[in-house]
Amino acid sequence: MLTIQASGWNKRKAENLDRTLAERYIKTVQRITEATKDLEKLTAELSLQQDTVQQWVSDVQQRTSGSSMAAVRRRKSPKTDAVEHAAKALDKTAELEVKYINSFKGRGVFAKAHFHKGDFVVEYRGELINSEESQRRRRTYHVKCTVFMFDFHWQERTWCIDAAREDGSLGRLVNDDHNHPNCKMKKVISEGKPHLCLFALRDINVGEEITYDYGGTDWPWRKKVGGPLTVTESSHADISRTKDQDPDRSTCSQNQ
Ligand SMILES: C[S@@+](CC[C@H](N)C(=O)[O-])C[C@H]1O[C@@H](n2cnc3c(N)ncnc32)[C@H](O)[C@@H]1O
């Protein structure tokens, strides 16, 4: 008796569910039909071409998926992002590109995607050496190569990232801007070793050149571009490059 009652109840439940879903389906189709009619009316009123409307639809779809990608990217903290990229020696090649600017400035790194204020942008990757080795290399390198040597303090000692070797990494190609830099260099420790990483000082738009303040005051290009030398305090006193004065040396090789 109980079994017959239970199976009757299950049958009614299944029929109700079918009816509820069918009603929802019909209502959704009605809403789509009405919305399509509205759109057709609007398209006619505004005398729009179908391909213009299609372009708008695809623009909105792209923007929506772009902002959800950015949201996914932002879920990770910038420091974690930097540590992960540093550990794998990876650059954000989908978001950054190298472009030749001119014969004076050479190459530069440009944003291919939007960066938010605070985002990790790129690591200044190279060989980590101590100050004795740095001094030795500075004596043998050409001035064009010593500009790739980046001194900084860590654990009460001076260290250097030597990025003189053309290794295809992006950080070494970021140019100096002491007036309006969009990034700032910070130390990030990964697996017990210091890494120099650039973080966005503000939102950076697609197409903008990535820059940071090299520190110091007497870089030759600052005199040429800005007329008289503008003296500024380095915004990161413990992280600065050292300018080499002797232009006679002619090599980037470490073995001279
Ligand atoms: C670390 S490298 C940067 C990449 C370099 N532009 C290249 O093509 O290899 C530093 C050199 O870039 C150039 N540079 C950097 N910032 C500059 C600026 N604001 N104006 C002109 N030249 C700049 C100088 O020649 C400098 O010696």
For the chain, the three-class secondary structure string (H helix, E strand, C coil) is CHHHHHHHHHHHHHHHHHHHHHHHHHHHHHHHHHHHHHHHHHHHHCCCCHHHHHHHHHHHHHHHHHHHHHHHHHHCCHHHHHHHHHHHCCCCCCCEEEEEEECCCEEEEEECCCECCCCEEEECCCEEEEHHHHHHHHHHECHHHHCCEEEEEECCEEEEEECCCCCCCCHHHCEECCCCCCEEEEEEEECCEEEEEEEECCCECCCCECEECCCCCCCHHHHHHHCCCCCCCCCCCCEEECCCCCCCCCECCCCC
CATH H-level superfamily of 78-241: SET domain (2.170.270.10)
Q: Is the per-residue pLDDT at 234 higher than 50?
A: no
Closest CA to 171 of 195, 143, 202, 207: 195
Kindly state the average pLDDT of the residues 191-213: 97
Statement: residue 229 has pLDDT above 50: no
The answer on pLDDT for 122 being more than 80 is yes
Q: Ligand 1 pocket test: which of 100, 170, 174, 176 has the largest number of ligand atoms within 8 Å of its C-beta?
A: 176
What was the pLDDT predicted at 140? 96
Q: Sign of the C-alpha dihedral, residues 100, 211, 244, 193?
A: negative
- Determine which of 123-137, 211-225, 235-249 has the lowest per-residue pLDDT on average: 235-249
Instruction: Tell me how far the alpha carbon of residue 100 lies from the centroid of ligand 1, in angstroms.
Output: 11
Give me the pLDDT at residue 171, please. 98
Mean residue pLDDT of the chain comes to: 83
Q: Which residue has a Cα nearest atom 26 of ligand 1?
A: 147
* Nearest alpha carbon, ligand 1 atom 25: 105
Q: How confident is the model at residue 235 (pLDDT cuts 50, 70, 90)?
A: very low
Q: What is the model's pLDDT at position 110?
A: 98
Query: Residue 241 pLDDT more than 90?
Result: no
pLDDT of residue 245: 44
Per the CB < 8 A criterion, the answer to whether 113 and 121 are in contact is: no
- Give the model's confidence band at 230: pLDDT under 50 very low, under 70 low, under 90 confident, else very high: very low
HSE, CB side, 13 Å, CA atoms: give it for residue 126: 25
pLDDT category of residue 62 using cuts at 50, 70 and 90: low
Q: Where are the domains of the chain?
A: 2-75, 78-241
- Ligand 1: which residues within 6 Å by Cβ? 104-108, 147-148, 172-173, 175-177, 221, 225
Mean pLDDT of 93-121: 98
136 Cα–ligand 1 center, Å: 23
What pLDDT shows up at residue 215? 93
Tokens for 35, please give them. 């919305």
Task: Write down the residue that tokens 């959800």 correspond to.
Answer: 68
Nearest protein CA to atom 4 of ligand 1, as residue: 173
Least confident of 88-102, 170-184, 233-247: 233-247
Average the pLDDT over 212-233 and give the result. Answer: 68
Give pLDDT, residue 65: 64
Higher pLDDT residue, 247 or 15?
Answer: 15
pLDDT band at residue 227 using 50, 70 and 90 as cut-offs: very low
